[in-house]
Amino acid sequence: MINAKLPKLWYGGDYNPEQWDEEIWKEDDRLFKLAGIDVATVNVFSWALNQPNEDTYHFAWLDETIDRLYRNGVYVCLATSTGAHPAWMARKYPDILRVDYEGRKRKFGGRHNSCPNSPTYRKYAKRMAGRLAERYKDHPAVLIWHVSNEYGGYCYCDNCAAAFRAWLREQYGSLDALNKAWNTRFWSHHFYDWEDIVVPNALSEEWGGSRTNFQGISLDYRRFQSDSLLECYKLERDELKRFTPDIPVTTNLMGFYPELDYFKWAKEMDVVSWDNYPSLDTPFSQTAMTHALMRGLKNGQPFMLMEQTPSVQNWQPYNSAKRPGVMRLWSYQAVAHGADTVMYFQLRRSIGACEKYHGAVIEHVGHEHTRVFRECAELGKELQLLGDRLLDARSDAKVAIIFDWENRWGIELSSGPSVALNYVEEVHKYYDALHRLHIQTDMIGVEEYLERYDVVIAPVMYMVKPGFAERVEAFVSRGGTFVTTFFSGIVNEHDLVTLGGYPGKLRKVTGIWAEEIDALLPDRHNQMVMRSPRGHLEGSYNCGILCDVIHAEGAEVVAEYGSDYYRGMPSLTVNRFGKGKAWYVASSPEARFLQDLMRTICDEHGIEAVLNAPCGVETVRRVKDGQEVTFVLNHTAESAAVPLGDAVYIDLLTGREQRVTCEVPVHGVRILQKLSVHSG
């Protein structure tokens, strides 16, 4: 578990008592008890309060806060406060201020406003972490350290330019190697001196945020900035560990946030935590996929739901209220997919600035007589009831989808073939198909051990890094099924094309080669026409965005294109390789095709649905000590009946036995522990 001091699903969230007076604190204590709050995240944005000048530190307010919370039965997730620097620091040390994408030097303001390569920022952030760790190392209230907050944002200042050149020296060793990797003979870009290299922004190689003349330098700058921010995290983490080696350390991630390679970050975190803010109309399978990704960052280890809103957000175009029951439903969705905490931003709603309209457990009215508070308090009671039954429970998925940030950067920076190609959306299409079939699915990185799965899917694996193709071949040869798609195997880790025909190093295992890639206009489609029925696949399906014009060289042609000049050429193939199979999906097909394909492949491996629930009802399984717990989550506006087959379950929330059929109310949740199997 995250920390044995609190052996249950943690319940709480961000708390900013520094914004309030003593009378409000007393009311907070009372209301926290009513709501069942047992963890408060404090000190997230208090750097200016903690350090009013270069040599002075004030922690008395924080002492009082942590002591008061602990006396009231509330533990703390203690943040380091370094997410936004103080005004005096910006005035005295301008090197701390970022330079934006357009080359403009920022003034003081906002947050995420510190240059990650500023010596000033690193010095004072590290010092702050050390002061806090030394002061609170023995305080019994401290469960976990929370470094900074929602890291993100790139900088293009002179400090970053110098650090980038040093980073490149370490990566490449010589300018000759760099010039080769970046293909700098194109457009007379050969570098003669390390000082010739400038940051790629709107003043040099890039425009529009993701369009670039040179993919090599832009790709490396994203790697460098992700590494730079990670170094800042590690500096604080190491200071914390110096004083408190046994207290876990985390920082809150943001799902599919594009700028940071979270697989690399997760290696440096004791536990992954993240902030979940879907819109009211976000497909619930997309939220599920993001939870699965957070679980997958550390090989299936449970994660922390660090933030969600109990009611409304403040920063989306339309900040709809969560309907009755939805907060509870989405909280349990996180738990179902691996969260061992349920936490909010925020516990009490602020009265000023940009987050005053962001929802909270305690609303502006200030008392417990609100719908939101009642729902929060009811959930708090249920989490107390569940105790430690779900802690450390894992997924038992036999299907995995690969996601890779560097592959995403490469696709987004690519000059063509279509503006409609969106890596995250293509990945979600495959996850959604499996989710609708109620097939347990993991999200994994390219370095993950593949042999724990029966089926591994790598949609749009544009960038194939060293060793990946060989690992796929070994996985398939031992009996696994590998699925990849159009626009895969195109380039290496430097974004240089792998010659010899697409899909490059995946050509051997897939048994095909592609000679062309056709980009379809938004209103155009082709068809994937089955040669004959195959499993659940039959007839014809629409496809679009991109169409690879491929040739089979050993692979069986399962479907052909139905129109255009490549009519009759393969659009779906499967290649027997050793004891396993590799499928190649040559276009982006409609959802019906992906469900039929996934069902066909899962049937071949005997992979069954968690439960055969109706559309709109999500089923997820966690396993602990060999004991299965199944979550049934009704995302629809109608009650649902879910068949249970021949198993007997007990509902952990009601204590009632469940047989034959489980009735789930509107936005309702059932948490079912299997007791036995009956004979009918």
Catalytic residues: 150, 307
d(CA 541, CA 311): 41
Residue 161: how many other CB atoms lie within 10 Å = 17
| Distance, CA of 611 to CA of 608 (rounded, Å) | 8
Picking from 408, 447, 424, the residue whose alpha carbon sits closest to that of residue 222 is 408
Q: What is the DSSP string of 305-365?
A: EEE--SS--SSSSS-PPPPTTHHHHHHHHHHHTTBSEEEES-SB--SSSTTTTS--SB-TT
β-pairing, 273-275 vs 211-212, is unpaired
Question: In Å, what is the CA distance from 460 to each residue of 281, 403, 456, 486?
Answer: 26, 10, 13, 6
CA dihedral 328, 434, 338, 662 (to 10 degrees): 50
Contact 549, 519 (CB under 8 A): no
The strand pairing partners of 618, in sequence order, are: 633
CA distances from 674 to 300, 617, 627, 630, 663 (A): 22, 19, 7, 8, 16
Distances (CA, A) of 69 to 18, 36, 66, 146: 13, 13, 5, 17
Task: Measure the CA–CA gap between 551 and 170, rounded to whole angstroms.
Answer: 41
Query: Which amino acid appears at position 258 of this protein?
Result: P
From residue 108, alpha-carbon distances to 32, 97, 155, 398, 549 in Å are 35, 7, 15, 50, 53
The structure tokens 């799965």 sit at 453
Q: Choose among 586, 581, 537: nearest CA to 561.
A: 586
Structure tokens at 182: 């970046």
Distances (CA, A) of 479 to 394, 445, 468: 24, 20, 17
Give the DSSP H/E element, type plus range, for residue 64: helix 60-71
Task: Report strand pairing: 304-307 vs 273-275.
Answer: parallel
Long-range contacts of 325-329 (CB under 8 A, 24+ apart): 325/375, 325/666, 325/667, 325/668, 326/667, 327/372, 327/375, 327/376, 327/379, 328/375, 328/378, 328/379, 328/667, 328/669, 329/633, 329/634, 329/635, 329/667, 329/668, 329/669
Contact 617, 634 (CB under 8 A): yes
Q: Left (φ > 0), alpha (ψ -120 to 50) or beta: where does 399 sit?
A: beta
